[in-house]
Chain A
Amino acid sequence: MGVLRSLIIKEIRQFRRNPFMPKLVVMFPIAIVLVMPWITTMDVKDVSVGIVDYDGSDVSHKIISRIDASEYLELNSIYQDYPSALEDMEDGRVDAILEIPDGFGRSILSKPEKLSVWSNGVNSLKGSLGSQYLMQTVMQCLKDIRSSKGLQIPEGLIETTNLYNPTMDYKHFMIPALMIMLLVMIGGFLPALNLVSEKELGTIEQINVTPVNRFVFTLSKLIPFWIICFIDLGLCMTLALLVYGLPVAGSVWAIFLAAALFIIVMSSVGVMIANLSDTMQQTMFIMLFVVLSFILISGLMTPVESMPEWAQKVTWFLPPTYIIKIFRIVYLKGASVAELWTDYAALAGFAVLFCILAAMTYKKRG
């Protein structure tokens, strides 16, 4: 083990002397927790509404003030006619347009004229949810107006309850998943680049003629990054608690166990790619390609349930799927390892599989 110790000391010394790396591993978790959640938000808020009021009655004014007061909607401006509102939508200033036809107010108790809603489908989530919010707000308003004028309206029969994320904060949903980016970057990318840079500089030749086992050599590259990974993960979790008041609902150890398994997977993938590549450019691009597609398809940014059946099946074969699920469920809903044992087992299986693949790609002698 003296050999491993010497090699690790060497890695730590090189790491400390690198002008960039120490800064990166400190800045990265901070950026992940403090900046990224604000950006990676899919919250549909502040839907900007333009109103074309051909009516100008009491009723239309009530609708306008109701929209203005709504939590999700933001009244942009009131237009004289539809074309000028459309122009603003083209420029992206307005997400949805409500048109109140002439005579709407007078007809509300009898057979009303139709209202029209136009929404900008370019951002389709905002378009669909935004127009739903707008329609609900308008309908609620109409309901109130009608009942105040003596019409019999049935009571609301539905009660909606949200569990697990009481503040309904999208950031809380993203933070656990974003921590996975950290594991990918520091557990996978950096060791792979480190390994291939020794190849490129030729220093690996000198190591190859020593009795050092390639496994020990690779391990000496991985261990420092594993330690950094865990420290950074702890830092992320502390920051998430302090800044966003987001504690781990489940057990912290459940998070670390999943992280440990996933780091083994990512490190093995990195080592495998580095073993198969000759240059840093190759390593980087293959790694980027693999990781980018893995992460995009595994539900880090987008809901897995919304994907077509075949794509959902594909995610079963991708390790990030399981860690993203575990992190989110343990973090937000507090499930235990026992409840998620299938996901842990899948991760462990991938860890073993990729370790074997990484070992198979070693070339001792050409």
Chain B
Amino acid sequence: MNRFLYFVKKESLHILRDTRTILVVIGIPIVLTLLFGFAISTDVNNVNVAVCAPHKTVSIIETVESLQHNTLFTFKGYIPQNEIDATLRSGKAGAVLVFDEDYDRILAGTAGSGEKAVQIVLDGSNPTVSASAGVYLSAILNSIWGDSSQMDMIENHILYNPQMKSSYNFVPGILGLIFILVCAMMTSVSIVREKEMGTMEVLLVSPVKPIWIIIAKMIPYFVLSCINLASILLLAKFALGVPMTGSMAAIILISVIYIILALGFGLLVSTIAKKQVVALLISGMVLMLPIMMFSGMLFPTENLPVILRPFTYIVPARWYIDAIRKLMIEGLAFKGVLLEIGILTAMTISILRVALAKFNDRLE
């Protein structure tokens, strides 16, 4: 046991001496959480709107004014008819409101029927932004025109995330990503590095059992991951205000299972790869990319084409992120995530078994 502690110490020293990597590893989750929390958002919160009006009548000016009060839109000024295309093309505005020459008469109902009062020209290159802009612009115009009677008929409620903050969604995703990064990527690279340098041989001939050497390697990364878990949870709670009404014990339990799983992946990759670059690329391509893509961190999984959907079931991060989302945002109790815990435990056990079997194979 004493020898084992020496190994743990050696590994910890390796990591602690490399201040730059430490800073990055501790910094990444914090920066990501803050970025997602305060800077970027997948929602459409703002659309730049330009207005084209041949005659600036009082009613048009009033309409534009009330548009300016709406937080969803930023008014970018009046433009002449011949600049509509250039304005949208260069991305200066995402939508142009084109008022008809006969705007006042059409509204008053004195123009011929079938005339449109306003044309909304949208930059359709981003379909989500243009769809939202179209829907909201029409709704606003309708309410300005006093056609609000129908809107009143429906009461709209938003459950679970009433401020509609997308940052809530990212927190579980960041957790899922970071643990793979720290545990799988860093451990696999550090094991392969020792193989490459030949120092692994030296360790393996020592009287300590090979498996303990590997475990010793993993302990510092496990500790780093726990620090990351704590920092993300604290940030989520106090900086982002994520409710976290669910079971904290369950969050920690399932995170630990997932961290062990990620360590298992790291070991597995290290038995396959002979070169550090290969270890990096395998963990990057096979582990990180699917997490970013399939786990619903950035892109909702329900948008996936049907053929790819079954694929998400074998990505452990998906189960982990689902569970964390339920616990953190929806506030479910422990029993609400039993399925996820079960699946992750099963995955962890099988990954560890395969990794250990491969590891022992290599030794013989």
Contact = CB atoms under 8 A, between A and B. Distances in A.
Q: Quick check: do A and B touch in the complex, using CB within 8 A? A: yes
A114 B126 CA distance: 35
Interface residues of B, number: 107
A329 interface: yes
Interface in A37-60: 38-46
Interface string A190-213: 000110010011000000000000
Interface stretch (A1-9, A307-315, A348-356): A307-315
A139 B150 contact: yes
Interface string B93-113: 010000000000011010001
B158 A127 contact: yes
Contact of A160 (B134, B169, B275): B134
A219 interface: no
Contact of A90 (B157, B193, B330): B330
Contacts of A193: 277, 280
Given A122-B161, A305-B94, A164 B124 contact: yes
Contacts of B226: none
B41 interface: yes
A289 B189 contact: no
Contacts of B94: 305
Contacts of A68: none
Given A114-B153, A127-B158, A280-B276, A164 B164 contact: no
Interface string A163-187: 1111011101100000000000000
Interface string A120-141: 1111111111011101101100
B119 A307 contact: no
Contacts of B169: 122-124
A340 B91 CA distance: 10
Interface in B85-138: 85-86, 88-91, 94, 106-107, 109, 113-114, 116-132, 134-136, 138
Interface residues of A, number: 98
Given A120-B160, A197-B277, A306-B43, A90 B332 contact: yes
Interface string A284-317: 1110110011001100011101111001001000
B281 interface: yes
A285 B19 CA distance: 12
Contacts of A170: 126-128
B155 interface: yes
A97 B357 CA distance: 50
A291 B286 CA distance: 18
A279 interface: yes
Nearest to B47: A305
Interface stretch (A233-241, A251-259, A264-272, A331-339): A331-339
B115 to A, nearest CB: 8
A308 B38 CA distance: 8
A275 interface: no
Contacts of B74: 305
Interface string A16-28: 0001100010000
B157 A118 contact: yes
A277 B20 contact: yes
B131 A44 contact: yes
B118 A165 contact: no
Contacts of B330: 90, 122
A88 B158 CA distance: 15
Given A24-B281, A39-B293, A39-B294, A285 B116 contact: no
B325 interface: yes
B156 A119 contact: yes
Contact of B41 (A24, A132, A302): A302
Kindly name the residue among B36, B89, B145, B298 whose own CB sees the greatest number of chain A CB atoms within 10 A. B89
Interface in A98-121: 112, 114-121
A159 B120 contact: yes
A329 B135 contact: no
B235 interface: no
Interface stretch (B52-60, B210-218, B249-257, B303-311): B303-311
B354 interface: no
A19 B43 CA distance: 42
A185 to B, nearest CB: 9
B235 to A, nearest CB: 16
Nearest to B168: A122
Contacts of A308: 38-39
Interface stretch (B1-9, B22-30, B260-268, B341-349): B22-30
A135 B143 CA distance: 14
Contact of A164 (B120, B123, B132, B162): B123
Contacts of B196: 200-201
Contacts of A86: 159
Interface in B275-311: 275-278, 280-281, 285, 293-294, 298-300, 302-305, 308
B40 interface: yes
A360 interface: no
Interface string B308-319: 100000000000
Nearest to B329: A122
Closest 7 CB pairs of A and B: A121-B161, A162-B124, A311-B39, A306-B45, A165-B124, A124-B164, A157-B117
Given A142-B150, A302-B42, 19 more contacts: A38-B308, A119-B159, A121-B162, A122-B329, A128-B132, A129-B135, A138-B154, A160-B120, A173-B126, A293-B35, A296-B32, A296-B35, A297-B39, A297-B40, A301-B299, A305-B74, A306-B43, A311-B39, A311-B40
Interface of A: 19-20, 24, 35-36, 38-46, 86, 89-90, 112, 114-129, 131-133, 135-136, 138-139, 142-143, 154-166, 168-170, 172-173, 193-194, 197, 200-201, 277, 279-282, 284-286, 288-289, 292-293, 296-297, 301-303, 305-308, 311, 314, 325, 328-329, 332-335, 339-340
